[in-house]
Amino acid sequence: MKNHTETHTSHTRVPVSECSLAKAIRVVGDMWSLLILREVICGAERFDQIREDLGITRSVLSNRLARLVQEGILERYQYRDSGQRARKGYALTAKGHALFPVVIALREWGGEHLEPGNTPLRLQLQTRDGLRVETKLIREDGLEVTDMTDIIATVKE
Amino acid sequence: MKNHTETHTSHTRVPVSECSLAKAIRVVGDMWSLLILREVICGAERFDQIREDLGITRSVLSNRLARLVQEGILERYQYRDSGQRARKGYALTAKGHALFPVVIALREWGGEHLEPGNTPLRLQLQTRDGLRVETKLIREDGLEVTDMTDIIATVKE
DNA sequence: AATCTGAGTCTTTATTAAAGACTCAGGTGG
DNA sequence: CCACCTGAGTCTTTAATAAAGACTCAGATT
């Protein structure tokens, strides 16, 4: 609970149009795009696979995939499983992979603050050899930040 | 570019309804909510302040603030600056502060992948005593993950 | 040749957002 | 005390998006 007599930290004004956080939010900060990324990370690669898992409509999925490809976050490719016809798939590019810290942080936050008691099955993000991975906030001096209220926004130009 | 003859990692199916990542996306994974969080982190506290900075309509702002308060991410309080009338403000709760890793990771991604050349002024997230803060992916064994393609999704039940 | 599938597009209807007028309470100035 | 201003919204109308589901079209499959 905030103390209403405390002196307020001054308002850091970075115009939305020039803020890389705001830009990132405009590019990937929408529900369907994020859910689609989750699907691709989980290994879904085909249009209908994603659509069935998410219950998204074809038109919106088509639209979002196009945007994600255009932004260079996903790439579209063709593949052919042996004995199967050629198909099209979507996969993360390097730029898409670079979103892992965001996704993992979101996953952690959801797991810690949104779970309603029991958790039957949990999505884990780990290395190929089975090591758990988690995000940490590290200060310039190498120490981990544990108290989030110690973090403030400023403008460096 | 993905090799189209590689064996595909199997599809990890966690129903959207039971996935803490998907839940987190549904709660904070929308553009306006994220932009509002950015504003509050930047020190905006009043309704009209946020509205002017973001150019969001009153009705949507009202709606999103109510949702964020209801989710326990923001709290509404009253304050009175000396010589001023009493006003209402919004501030991060502990649950809201816990989103810092997500926000900082997004900020980093935006800065690295979305900047169009020159960056006049940059939003920085740092400690109160001026130390830069960044997110890192740390493996169970303490090492940092640098190659994102080494991370895969699995289900642990 | 007829059918099936994947990967969409198109059309219609329902939801959500934008623009901007209106409300209402607390404080201020004359 | 009365008229006016401001903060913090609500309400109404119009425009943009999303949902539901029919339709398309090309490459396999029977």
CATH for B17-114+122-150, options being 1.10.10.10, 3.40.1190.20, 1.10.260.40, 3.50.50.60: 1.10.10.10
pLDDT in tens, B50-95: 999 999 999 999 999 999 999 999 999 999 887 888 899 999 999 9
Average pLDDT of every residue of chain A: 92
Give pLDDT, residue B98.
98
Q: Is the model's pLDDT at A1 over the cut of 70?
A: no
Give pLDDT, residue A6.
52
Specify whether the CB–CB gap between B139 and A132 falls below 8 A.
yes
For residue A5, give the chain B residue with the closest CA. B79
Give pLDDT, residue A5.
47
Average pLDDT of every residue of chain B: 92
Give pLDDT, residue B1.
53
pLDDT in tens, A12-51: 999 999 999 999 999 999 999 999 999 999 999 999 999 9
Stated in angstroms, how far is A4 CA from C18 C1'?
34
Nearest to A12 among B27, B43, B128 (CB): B43
Give chain B positions within 8 Å (CB) of A44: 11
- For the ranges A59-68, A113-122, B33-42, B96-105, the lowest mean pLDDT is seen at A113-122
Into which CATH architecture does domain A16-150 fall? Orthogonal Bundle (1.10)
Q: What are the extents of the domains in chain A?
A: 16-150
For chain B, percent of residues with pLDDT exceeding 70 = 92
Max CA pair span of chain A: 71
Whether the beta carbon of B70 falls within 7 A of nucleic chain D: the reply is no
Stated in angstroms, how far is B83 CA from C26 C1'?
14
The 3-class secondary structure across B18-84, one letter per residue, is HCHHHHHHHHHCCHHHHHHHHHHHCCCCCHHHHHHHHCCCHHHHHHHHHHHHHCCCEEEEEEECCCC
Q: Which nucleotides of C are covered by protein (CB under 7 A)?
A: 6-11, 17-21, 26-28
Q: What is the mean pLDDT of residues B42-46?
A: 96
